[in-house]
Amino acid sequence: MTWLSGWLREVIMIVILASFIDLLLPSRSMERYVKLVMSLLILLTLLGPLIKLLTDSPASQLSAAISKQDQESIWTAKGAKGNLNQILVEASKIKLQQQAQTLKFAGEEVAQRMKEQIQQQTGQKVEEVKVALSLQPVNQTSSDQESPVISAVIVILPGAQASGSTGNQQQGLGQSIAIEAIQPVQVDVQVQPEEGSSVAASTSQPDNSQSQSEAAQTEGTDIVEKSNTIRDMLVTMWDLKPESVTVQRKAE
Q: Which residues bind another protein (CB under 8 A)?
A: 6, 9-10, 12-14, 17-18, 20-21, 24-27, 29-30, 33-34, 36-38, 40-41, 43-45, 47, 50-51, 54-55, 58-59, 61-63, 65-66, 69, 73, 75
In the complex, minimum distance from the CB of residue 62 to another protein, in angstroms, rounded to a whole number? 5
Q: To the nearest whole angstrom, how small is the minimum distance from the Cβ of residue 79 to another protein?
A: 14
Encode 82-121 in three state secondary structure: HHHHHHHHHHHHHHHHHHHHHHHHHHHHHHHHHHHHHHHH
| CB count in 10 Å sphere of residue 175 | 25
As measured in angstroms, the least distance from the Cβ of 80 to another protein is 16
* Closest distance to another protein from the beta carbon of 77 (Å): 14
* Nearest approach, Cβ of residue 27 and another protein (Å): 5
Backbone angles phi, psi at 82, to 5 degrees: -55, -40
Task: Give 32 or 123: the residue with its C-beta nearer to another protein.
Answer: 32
| Gap between the Cα atoms of 66 and 29, Å rounded | 25
C-alpha–C-alpha distance, residues 230 and 248, integer Å? 11
Q: With respect to another protein, which residue has the nearer C-beta, 76 or 218?
A: 76
Q: How far is the CB of 33 from another protein (least distance, A)?
A: 5
Residue whose CB is less far from another protein, 17 or 94:
17
Please identify, using beta-carbon distances, which residue of 75 and 164 lies nearer to another protein. Answer: 75
Q: Pick the closer one to another protein by CB: 18 or 135.
A: 18
Q: Is there a contact between 128 and 143 (Cβ–Cβ < 8 Å)? A: no
What one-character-per-residue DSSP string does 133-198 give? EEEEESSSS-SS-EEEEEEEEEEEE--TTTTT--TTS-HHHHHHHHHHHHHHHT---EE-STT-SH
Beta strand 128-137 with 146-157 is antiparallel
In the complex with another protein, which residue's Cβ is closer, 73 or 197? 73
